[in-house]
């Protein structure tokens, strides 16, 4: 089907809920290399980390809503930091889950994406990501954040709507690899900051104040989630 043609309702249904063929192994490996190139070099990571920040703050926001808190706004900054503000009880399970969702969101999203790709739902993954970005856009409260989410969402929409199956597959695999790999690095960066004494108000420290559990144990949780997600996602993506 011509991707530029207007699809009928049955065609839209089939594209969303149907399955697409797996890409060749070389495509999967090439997207892995591309994701590594976006995560490992520091100069590139300073830019690409913005995408991880979107997932990080989106995780805070989503869990805040799911636990009954009132989400008042999300800010994304050019230094790749972010801030999610919600109203509700300043303690309790809802606040704990909200605080814990940031560092765990990118790798878990990558793991979920790997499961969808393993099942052949490439287009569904792209459309779901677009929908989540559009919902998040409503809650963004600063110009840089709006620009970042618009550009990211527009890229997903363009690829899912205007390109063929092979391009969609390559893009989807690259995104999932990036979330899995990019979800590992922030926990190590946080560990280094805490070692230098520069992260007194980090998610791990906030969780420690909420639970009386040492920050190091929360940091261990972030490492465990990201590394286990990477292992599980890799098995799905490489069909091991």
Pure H helices in 140-200: 143-162, 165-182, 185-195
3-state secondary structure of 224: helix
Average pLDDT value over all residues in the chain:
91
* Distance in angstroms (rounded) separating the CA atoms of residues 181 and 188: 12
3-state secondary structure of 140: strand
Is 57 within 8 Å of 74 (Cβ atoms)? yes
Within a 10 A sphere around the Cβ of 63, how many other Cβ atoms?
24
Q: What are phi and psi of 49, to 5 degrees?
A: -65, -20
DSSP result, 26-79: HHHHHHHHHHHHHHSSHHHHHHHHHHHHHHHHHHHHHHHHHTT-EEEEEEE-TT
Half-sphere exposure of 177 (CA within 13 A, CB side): 22
Residue 89 in tokens:
């009880």
pLDDT score, position 9: 63
- Per-residue pLDDT at 6 exceeds 60: no
Segment 28-41, tens digit of pLDDT: 999 999 999 999 99
25 CB contacts (<8 Å, ≥6 apart)? none
223 CB contacts (<8 Å, ≥6 apart)? 187, 188, 191
Within a 10 A sphere around the Cβ of 215, how many other Cβ atoms?
20
pLDDT score, position 201: 83
Segment 107-126, tens digit of pLDDT: 999 999 999 999 999 999 99
Cα angle 141, 80, 109 (rounded to 5 degrees) comes to 85
19 or 230, which is more confident: 230
Residue 194 in tokens:
């805490």
- What's the average model confidence in pLDDT over 86-92? 90
pTM: 0.91
Segment 184-220, tens digit of pLDDT: 999 999 999 888 877 668 899 999 999 999 999 999 9
């Amino acid at each position: 089907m011509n991707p530029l043609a207007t699809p009928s309702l049955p065609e839209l249904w089939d594209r969303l809920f149907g399955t697409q063929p797996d890409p060749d192994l070389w495509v999967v490996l090439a997207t892995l290399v591309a994701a590594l190139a976006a995560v490992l070099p520091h100069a590139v990571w300073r830019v690409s980390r913005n995408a991880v920040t979107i997932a990080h703050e989106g995780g805070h926001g989503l869990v805040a809503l799911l636990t009954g808190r009132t989400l008042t706004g999300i800010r994304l900054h050019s230094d790749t930091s972010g801030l999610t503000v919600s109203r509700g009880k300043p303690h309790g399970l809802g606040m704990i889950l909200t605080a814990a969702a940031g560092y765990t969101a990118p790798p878990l999203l990558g793991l979920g994406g790997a499961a969808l790709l393993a099942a052949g739902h490439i287009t569904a993954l792209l459309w779901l990501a677009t929908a989540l970005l559009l919902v998040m856009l409503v809650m963004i409260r600063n110009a840089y954040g709006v620009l970042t989410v618009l550009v990211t969402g527009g890229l997903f929409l363009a690829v899912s709507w205007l390109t063929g199956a092979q391009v969609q597959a390559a893009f989807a695999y690259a995104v999932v690899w990036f979330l899995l790999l990019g979800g590992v690095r922030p926990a190590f960066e946080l560990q280094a900051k805490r070692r230098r004494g520069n992260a007194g108000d980090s998610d791990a420290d906030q969780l420690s104040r909420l639970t009386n559990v040492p920050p190091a144990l929360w940091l261990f949780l972030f490492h465990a989630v990201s590394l286990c997600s990477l292992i599980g996602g890799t098995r799905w993506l490489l069909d091991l």
